[in-house]
Chains A and B, each alone.
Chain A
Amino acid sequence: MKKTIHFKLNGEKTSMDVAPNDVLLEALRANLGAKSPKCGCDRGDCGTCTVMINGRAVRSCLILAVEVEGCEILTLEGVSKGRIAALQRSFVKHNSFQCGFCAPGMIMSLTELLNHKPTPTEEEVKEAISGNLCRCTGYTQIVEGVMDPAVSKKR
């Protein structure tokens, strides 16, 4: 019943044995120790489980592990790679999170935006995180964190 799938996780070739009904989010956390994607609503509404597949921010709670055969997956662990990325530094500077539960998903959604638009407008930032819920900040500090010149110009 289980099947071995091969893919890249944060730049490194990886494989894991999965059942057809294993969800990617749980497989990443339980099998591969990638704990940055979180389980919030578990139905695609809140964005805390956001990872990138082939350069696109997606909901890992709405994807089966078997679907990612041959794909490149990036989680927050791969964005920081041992150092703190510019966006993360800016999040700290602007108090862009309190409890931190939404932060990995926010950063993945915003990383996708900044990859496509290095100097986004405030409206584009809000649109990019329109599917990422934060119950602490009220979003203002998150938008400020992205609009900081250290983030949106240096990249």
Chain B
Amino acid sequence: MPIATEFEYFAPASVRETVGLLSKFKDKARLLAGGTDLIVQLKEDVSKPQALVDIKRIAPLGGIKVQGKFLRLGALATFTELIESTVIKSKYPILWEAARTVASPGVRNRATVAGNICSAVPSLDSAPALLVYEAVVVIEGPKGSRQIPFASFITGPRRTVLAKDELVTAILLPQPGKHCGAYVKLGRYAGEDLAQAGVAVLADAKGAIRAAFCALAPAPLRSAKIEALLSCKKCDAAVMAQACALLERELAPISDIRSSKEYRLHMAGVMLERGLKAACSRLKGEGPDYGKHLI
């Protein structure tokens, strides 16, 4: 299908130049990185920009590297780069596990993590892992640079805190202590599908638990109440029953073409339990390898 909208194409060489273009075109400009969401929107006339600003020629936006106390994922880092990164696999295994569930290799070779969070669809697979790792988003705009916790970056379905003249330049991951975890994704079939529900669990060596969810509320969320309930406890049937009751209050899933809200909510409890089990057995050096389907 041809793209009906006619736009100008820019491939700036620097972030500064990019901000200049965004300031000039305001909401008539769209940023292009992997394009796996944007090109579909252009074909379907959902987005009709006057200018497309391709940031792939800005070298400093690429790569995955240590920056002070953080691991910095450049805005151009693709899901394939994450999967192939030994640092991600060894230090951030939950994010590694989540990256492997995104779409298919042909999409992951192009799609970026930063693009994923900027698209901000409720089912984004990267979000639960970024939440439990307490990621920070680096944003550049006309007034300079600012950093905000990923937890407050997405404000609703397809909505973020980004102003029209700002772009995400990197995602920073704090160094986690010794931990294990799991990302459990429910799809209609193994292989390429959007998440019907997604749950990330992180368990540290002291028994503290972090838990975050996608496709189960208008925006991905981390639940302090669930974490308080599950931390430093033996997660037996009674505790899990309490957790499921709490999930009903914490989550707000919808019914859509992929599943009903009742099914999503029920499965969230099942997935939380399986994620916890996998995380705890991985912490003991046992249990399923990262990347194994847990559901």
Contact = CB atoms under 8 A, between A and B. Distances in A.
A43 interface: yes
Interface string A19-44: 11111001000000000000000111
Contacts of B207: none
Contacts of B36: 44, 59, 62
A63 B42 contact: no
Given A47-B104, A67-B54, A42 B6 contact: no
Nearest to A47: B106
B110 A62 contact: yes
A128 B105 contact: yes
A127 B102 CA distance: 12
Interface residues of A, number: 34
B3 interface: yes
Interface stretch (A50-58, A75-83, A93-101): A50-58
Given A20-B8, A23-B2, A59 B110 contact: yes
Contacts of B103: 44, 131
A42 B192 CA distance: 16
A54 B52 CA distance: 23
B110 A109 contact: no
A20 B7 contact: yes
B43 interface: yes
A59 B107 contact: yes
Contacts, number: 94
A146 to B, nearest CB: 14
A57 B185 CA distance: 24
A30 B9 CA distance: 21
Given A67-B35, A67-B54, A58 B5 contact: no
Contact of B192 (A56, A61, A69, A130): A130
Interface SS of A by simple majority: mixed
Interface string B133-156: 000000000000000000000000
Given A20-B52, A21-B3, A42-B1, A112 B105 contact: yes
A45 interface: yes
A87 interface: no
B208 to A, nearest CB: 33
B40 interface: yes
A45 B191 CA distance: 11
B187 to A, nearest CB: 11
A147 interface: no
B80 interface: yes
Contacts of A57: 105-106, 109
A64 interface: yes
Nearest to A50: B106
A125 to B, nearest CB: 11
A29 B110 CA distance: 21
Contacts of B43: 23, 42-43
B56 interface: yes
Given A20-B52, A26-B2, A63-B110, A131 B104 contact: yes
29 contacts: A1-B6, A3-B9, A21-B2, A21-B3, A21-B4, A21-B42, A42-B1, A42-B43, A43-B43, A44-B106, A58-B109, A59-B110, A61-B39, A62-B35, A62-B39, A62-B40, A62-B107, A64-B35, A64-B52, A66-B11, A66-B54, A67-B56, A128-B105, A130-B190, A130-B191, A130-B192, A131-B103, A131-B104, A131-B191
Nearest 9 CB-CB pairs, A to B? A131-B104, A130-B191, A20-B9, A21-B3, A56-B109, A62-B39, A130-B104, A131-B106, A131-B192
